[in-house]
Amino acid sequence: MMQRKPLSDQHCVKLAEYGLQAIPLDSCVCLKFHAGETILQEGMPITYLFVVVSGSAKVCSTARNGKNLVLCYYICEGLMGDLELMTDTYIATTSIVAVTDFECIAIPFQRNALYLKSNVRFLNRLGSELALKLIRSSQNFVSASLYSGEERLCAYILQTSHNGIFSDILTDTACSVGMSYRHMFRLLNRLCEEGVLEKRENGYRILDRESLAEKATEFL
């Protein structure tokens, strides 16, 4: 279950990286999530800007039918809620779920919006991160035509595995790497036959990380 804690000196250092050392600390809180817990739910109200402190989380967005993923990537640093802050749209545009234990600093939108939007150092950092997100989105868009399915899948496994275990929801994986579930499952079986992966109850264990990386070299 999500835990709320007061900020520590470590959190103050993290805020200073964004030029936010002057923000009222009593308005901020440290939030800790366990793996599998939902941090943000697409379409639901969002009241905080989040600064990632540690851990990894999955960011995804669904199509209008509510079934197909149209966006999926992973974050382990940076900001969450930045798009909503800058567009004054306080409804979450994506869902974010903790993949590992995840810690972040929550800054209330309404109480601090004026300060955040007039802080040049913060805006420069935010702009840089939004640019990187745009680049990543563009790269994901063209990857399906530039790289083989095996390359995309192997790279995805490397990027999303935790402690040597790949345990992502396979239907989400298929959408994320741009292939049918059946084709992806054939590739996973082949990787197991080659001794690169091993099927486990909780997912797939990476047996040969070097071979997996070689198969994904052109994509990474």
**Three-state DSSP class for 9?**
helix
pLDDT in tens, 3-16: 999 999 999 999 99
**Three-state DSSP class for 21?**
coil
Cα–Cα nearest to 24, from 119, 115, 90: 115
What would the two tokens of residue 204 be?
Answer: 């797939």
Provide the pLDDT confidence category of residue 67 given band limits of 50, 70 and 90.
low
Residues 8-27, mean pLDDT to the nearest whole number: 92
Contact 96, 58 (CB under 8 A): yes
What would the two tokens of residue 15 be?
Answer: 């805020």
pLDDT in tens, 144-197: 667 888 998 998 899 888 889 998 889 888 877 878 899 999 999 999 999 999
Predicted TM-score of the model (pTM): 0.79
Provide the pLDDT confidence category of residue 101 given band limits of 50, 70 and 90.
very high
Cα–Cα nearest to 32, from 106, 103, 105, 108: 103
What are the structural domains of the chain?
3-143 (2.60.120.10), 147-215 (1.10.10.10)
pLDDT at 19 over 90: yes
Residue bearing tokens 């994986």: 173
